[in-house]
């Protein structure tokens, strides 16, 4: 079955197009896009397929995709911008801005630790309804009051949704106008540059969003620990009961960014290009080094992987899921989406799709595209 592929492809990157087509022919793709940028030059910006299950809406270059946890990398960029503006310090305690967070021994948790999944609050242990996630104040109060599930700073335990609650609470207290992560992205970073990425999708843009198709089975979470249950399995562990429209409109900085692949590749560029965004200075060298500095490494307490985190992004290290460069950073999202940045080659990219698979990290479709891209780059 042939598929019509649209978009931009630089000479020499024909193998990427071939793999993109193979994803539809052999890997069950429904609709998808892939973008790759090197030092400001768009090398690939491909899209194809359908934006809905019924195959009535062709995927276009304006199709927005919910990318779930891949949006954590965007939140990390917003937090880095606040650091660069002098509003935040990675090594300062969260409680300096948010005193309530000091409860139960969390007073020394730093911003960097909160963003690298070391705060000890991976999810609710009790008393939360799925609809409560739409109440920002309630969720902030819950995690501020929660006792940590391990000694903060003693390794990572992935915070699938609470990561965003913490980041947003800190951002609003740091910003001079008390803007949220989504508002800072919209008003100061993505919006002025025409970058099509949203945390909190305006209702008049919902028609552009792809319909995601759930994976055939739940992903393998490995040994189920109390931390895993809090993060993924306890009642109220994830948002619900409000409907798709409310979910798209909500600001959940850990989980519901909507974007095009090109927008995500552009937003990852500062991590690849010495702090430059669209070729212009965006993050200073000291901020960038602090943002990408390894903060923790080793077996994660929630996910069944050996992981290394910087301040909001995963470090490739030995995983190899963001290409061959160990210093590359990025993030995967539920179902297979992926963003990455390689500071050695000055390359950033993103893969987005609407048919989700049951793989937490290293989706075969994304991996094939990244491997092909590096083959064209000369690895």
List the catalytic residues: 69
DSSP secondary-structure letter at 118? -
Q: What is the DSSP string of 121-155?
A: --S-SSS--GGGGG-HHHHHHHHHHPPPSS-TTSS
Q: How far apart are CA 360 and CA 365, in angstroms?
A: 13
Question: How many Cα atoms within 13 Å fall on the side-chain side of residue 99?
Answer: 0
Nearest Cα residue to 350 out of 364, 335, 369, 334: 369
Nearest Cα residue to 371 out of 34, 72, 50, 63: 34
* Whether the Cβ atoms of residue 72 and residue 312 lie closer than 8 Å to each other: yes
Dihedrals phi, psi of 36, to nearest 5 degrees: -140, 130
* Whether the Cβ atoms of residue 24 and residue 1 lie closer than 8 Å to each other: yes
Q: How far apart are CA 250 and CA 26, in angstroms?
A: 35
End-to-end CA distance of the chain: 31
Q: How far apart are CA 144 and CA 124, in angstroms?
A: 11
* Torsion sign, CA atoms 277, 279, 281, 286: positive
The encoded tokens of residue 172 equal 């609003």
């Amino acid at each position: 079955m042939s598929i019509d592929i649209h978009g931009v492809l630089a000479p020499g990157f024909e193998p990427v197009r071939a793999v993109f087509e193979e994803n539809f022919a052999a890997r069950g793709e429904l609709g998808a896009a892939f973008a790759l940028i090197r030092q400001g030059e768009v090398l690939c910006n491909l899209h194809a397929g359908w934006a809905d299950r019924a195959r009535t809406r062709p995927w276009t270059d304006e199709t927005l995709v919910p990318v779930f946890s891949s949006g954590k990398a965007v939140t990390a960029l917003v937090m880095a911008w606040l650091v660069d503006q002098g509003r935040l310090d990675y090594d300062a305690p969260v409680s300096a801005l948010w005193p309530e967070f000091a409860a139960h021994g969390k007073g020394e948790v730093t911003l960097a630790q909160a963003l690298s999944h070391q705060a000890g609050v991976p999810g609710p242990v009790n008393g939360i309804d799925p609809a409560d996630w739409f109440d920002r104040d309630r969720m902030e109060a819950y995690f501020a009051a929660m006792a940590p599930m391990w000694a903060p700073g003693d390794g990572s335990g992935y915070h699938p949704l609470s990561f965003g609650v913490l980041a947003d609470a800190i951002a609003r207290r740091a910003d001079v106008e008390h803007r949220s992560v989504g508002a800072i992205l919209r008003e100061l970073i993505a919006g002025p540059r025409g970058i099509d990425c949203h945390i909190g999708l305006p209702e008049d843009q919902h028609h552009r969003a792809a319909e995601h198709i759930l994976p055939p089975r739940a992903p393998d979470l490995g040994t189920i620990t109390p931390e895993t249950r809090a993060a993924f399995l306890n009642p109220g562990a994830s948002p619900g009961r409000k409907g798709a429209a409310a979910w798209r409109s909500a600001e959940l900085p850990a989980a519901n960014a909507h974007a095009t692949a090109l927008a995500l590749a552009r937003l990852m560029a500062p991590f690849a290009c010495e702090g430059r965004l669209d070729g212009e200075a965006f993050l200073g060298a000291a901020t960038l080094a602090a943002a990408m500095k390894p903060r923790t490494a080793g077996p994660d307490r929630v996910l069944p992987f050996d992981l290394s985190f910087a301040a909001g992004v995963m470090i490739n290290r030995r995983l190899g899921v963001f290409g061959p460069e160990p210093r590359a950073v990025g993030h995967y999202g539920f179902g297979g989406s992926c963003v990455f940045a390689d500071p050695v080659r000055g390359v950033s990219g993103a893969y987005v799709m609407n048919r989700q698979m049951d793989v937490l990290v290293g989706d075969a479709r994304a991996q094939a595209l990244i491997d092909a891209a590096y083959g064209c780059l000369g690895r």
